[in-house]
Amino acid sequence: MASTVIKNWDNKTWLSSKDYIKSFNKFLIKQIKLDRRSIILDIGCGRGKIIGTLSSQLMLKNKPFGIDLTRHKDKDKRIKFERVDALTFLLKNKKQFNLILIKQTIHLLNFNEIKKVLNLAKKSLSKNGKILIFNLDPDNNNIPTFRLMKTKLSKSLKRDKKIIKLITKIYPYKKSKFIFKVKILRKKYLEMIQKRYISTLLPMTKSQIQKGVDEIKYRYKSNIKFKDKLICLIL
């Protein structure tokens, strides 16, 4: 399985804010019917704040499952967290899930892994269960970037298009979009870049990151506004 580890994607960013989580969970509930008896799995859950909050909102009888390769000290206590990859978990799984959430992690797998994970995930769904796959909108992306980051992100998004095409060829699906309006201090966004909050930044050297920070300082005002746009495939 892919070994890419992102430690800071949901750590004190807009992705971990109460407004974002509230907005995202509201979107989730519109896409799929869930109640307190629902059993949920989040693949690549990070700290588990999204499904932890959803668990409280729905007053779930069973703690949702969250799997991630990173050992987070501050993982949400409202979830059953397992530090394991998706394929390993699903091969051993005997539960039937009403919702399997794959949020901004499918691109970390190679094509063969994606096929295997989705095949097993499909077999792990309840009768009316759904898989919801979220990814950056590859055609209409507003994330603030510097030149090298933009180049690498564009290359990554081209691959994402191939992943989406692969998935939609294999499975019947519905498509939707989740959009969140982000307002963030430039200073805070620079900290996120330095902590490599997105996989595009992981292979960059310290000097490349610093050059990017300088570019962002020059190109953007002290308050940054943009739309975080995700596409949602519902299988």
**Tens digit of each residue's pLDDT (9 = 90 or more) over 115-137:** 999 999 999 999 999 999 999 99
pLDDT of amino acid 228: 94
pLDDT of amino acid 32: 95
pLDDT at 11 over 60: no
pLDDT of amino acid 30: 95
**Digit-coded pLDDT (tens) for 180-216:** 999 999 999 999 999 898 889 999 999 999 999 999 9
Cβ atoms of 133 and 235 closer than 8 Å:
yes
Q: Per-residue confidence at 16, pLDDT binned at 50, 70, 90?
A: confident
Average pLDDT, the chain: 91
For the chain, domains (ranges, CATH) are 14-234 (3.40.50.150)
pLDDT of amino acid 188: 92
Global pTM value: 0.90
Q: Per-residue confidence at 8, pLDDT binned at 50, 70, 90?
A: very low
pLDDT of amino acid 73: 78
For residue 101, give the nearest of 142, 136, 135 by alpha carbon: 135
- b vs e for 10-22, b when ≥16 Cβ sit within 10 Å of the residue's Cβ? bbebbbbbeebbe
pLDDT at 5 over 80: no
pLDDT at 4 over 70: no
pLDDT of amino acid 219: 94
pLDDT of amino acid 81: 94
pLDDT of amino acid 33: 93
Joined tokens for residue 176: 């939707």
Q: Per-residue confidence at 12, pLDDT binned at 50, 70, 90?
A: low
pLDDT at 29 over 50: yes
Lookup result for tokens 């692969």: 166
pLDDT of amino acid 70: 82
88 Cβ contact list (under 8 Å, min separation 6): 1
Q: How far, in Å, CA of 37 to CA of 145, rounded?
A: 42
Q: How far, in Å, CA of 208 to CA of 196, rounded?
A: 12
Q: Per-residue pLDDT averaged across 60-71, rounded?
A: 92
